[in-house]
């Protein structure tokens, strides 16, 4: 089975946020950016069907979103999925920032970057609230580990 947890390709959460910003800036409009985000979701590791249950579901999302976390040597790795293509892409974007980081770095990385990149404003209100709920769920899990 393929490891469902996202491994970071950027050295830090801040570097991931900067890289995502640069990548989104390559596109002229939000339709192209949405397509890019959808492709990010399609490139994520497969999420096990056994985890698509209420115990893994993120509350506050219009679409169904599931997250799982594991800790390896003090580093937190996340796996995620959604039943909606654009939301899968948003999950991928969040996991690129947060997965494969120590709890302290996750907690120090404010989800305000979602607004700074224009993502929350470009989404419907429900989707914007949902992506913020995903970021809260990730940070809550990190806080539980760091406690």
Q: CATH code at 48?
A: 3.90.1010.10
pLDDT score recorded for residue 5:
97
- Entry pTM: 0.93
Instruction: Tell me, yes or no, whether 44 lies in a domain.
Output: yes
Instruction: Tell me, yes or no, whether 103 lies in a domain.
Output: yes
pLDDT score recorded for residue 146:
66
Q: What CA–CA distance (Å, rounded) separates 36 from 80?
A: 18
Are the C-beta atoms of 46 and 4 separated by less than 8 Å? yes
Instruction: Tell me, yes or no, whether 115 lies in a domain.
Output: yes
pLDDT score recorded for residue 78:
97
Q: Which of 6, 38, 40, 61 is catalytic?
A: 61
Contacts of 74 (CB under 8 A, 6+ apart): 102
Instruction: Tell me, yes or no, whether 78 lies in a domain.
Output: yes
Q: What is the pLDDT along the chain (147 residues), one digit of tens a residue?
A: 689 999 999 999 999 999 999 999 999 999 999 999 999 999 999 999 999 999 999 988 778 999 999 999 999 999 999 999 999 999 999 999 999 999 999 999 999 998 899 887 888 777 878 888 899 999 999 999 866
Instruction: Tell me, yes or no, whether 1 lies in a domain.
Output: no
pLDDT score recorded for residue 63:
86
pLDDT score recorded for residue 60:
80
Q: Which domain holds residue 112?
A: 13-146
Instruction: Tell me, yes or no, whether 8 lies in a domain.
Output: no
Are the C-beta atoms of 93 and 40 separated by less than 8 Å? yes
How many structural domains are present in the chain?
1
pLDDT score recorded for residue 85:
92
Contacts of 124 (CB under 8 A, 6+ apart): none
pLDDT score recorded for residue 1:
63
How many residues are given for the chain? 147
User: Under DSSP, is residue 110 helix (H, G, I), strand (E, B) or coil?
Assistant: coil
Instruction: Tell me, yes or no, whether 54 lies in a domain.
Output: yes
- Tell me whether residue 137 is one of the annotated catalytic residues: no
Instruction: Tell me, yes or no, whether 87 lies in a domain.
Output: yes
């Amino acid at each position: 089975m393929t490891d469902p947890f996202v491994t970071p390709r950027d050295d830090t959460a801040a570097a991931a946020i900067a890289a995502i910003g640069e990548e989104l800036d390559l596109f002229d409009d939000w339709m192209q950016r949405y397509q890019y985000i959808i492709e990010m979701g399609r490139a994520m590791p497969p999420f096990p069907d056994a985890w698509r249950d209420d115990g893994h579901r993120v509350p506050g999302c219009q679409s169904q979103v599931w997250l799982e976390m594991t800790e390896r040597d003090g580093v937190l790795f996340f796996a995620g999925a959604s039943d909606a293509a654009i939301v899968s892409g948003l999950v991928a974007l969040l996991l690129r920032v947060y997965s494969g980081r120590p709890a302290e770095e996750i907690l120090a990385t404010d989800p305000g970057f979602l607004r700074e990149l224009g993502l929350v404003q470009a989404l419907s209100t429900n989707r914007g609230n949902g992506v913020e709920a995903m970021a809260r769920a990730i940070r809550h899990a990190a806080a539980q580990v760091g406690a």
